[in-house]
């Protein structure tokens, strides 16, 4: 569960951007904010938001973050 970076309201869905609909519409406008959410959600599904992350198993072996048993270190 995320909180909006502007108003700290709890965001109940699993969106990739931590901005509530109300703040997003006020900052960027409804149409642009919907496009931002869609593009960020697509990038999250592709794994593009995980670039630069390092994951490992419990023994310290570096693994892909998508592999079962991998823990995100950074």
Range of the domain at 22: 2-72
Q: CA-to-CA distance for 63 and 24, rounded, in angstroms?
A: 35
Helical packing angle, 21-28 and 30-46, nearest 10°: 120
Residues in a beta bridge with 1? none
Among 7-21, 24-38, 43-57, which range has the highest average pLDDT?
24-38
24 pLDDT higher than 90:
yes
Give the count of domains, the chain: 1
Report the predicted TM-score, pTM, of the whole model to 2 decimal places: 0.65
- Residue 27 tokens read as 């900052």
Q: In the predicted model, what is the mean pLDDT of the chain?
A: 86
């Amino acid at each position: 569960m995320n909180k909006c970076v502007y108003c700290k309201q709890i965001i109940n869905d699993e969106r990739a951007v931590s901005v509530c609909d109300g703040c997003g519409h006020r900052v960027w406008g409804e149409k642009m904010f919907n496009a931002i959410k869609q593009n960020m959600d697509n990038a999250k599904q592709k794994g593009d938001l995980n670039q630069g992350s390092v994951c490992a198993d419990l023994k310290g072996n570096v693994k892909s973050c998508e592999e079962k048993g991998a823990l995100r270190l950074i």
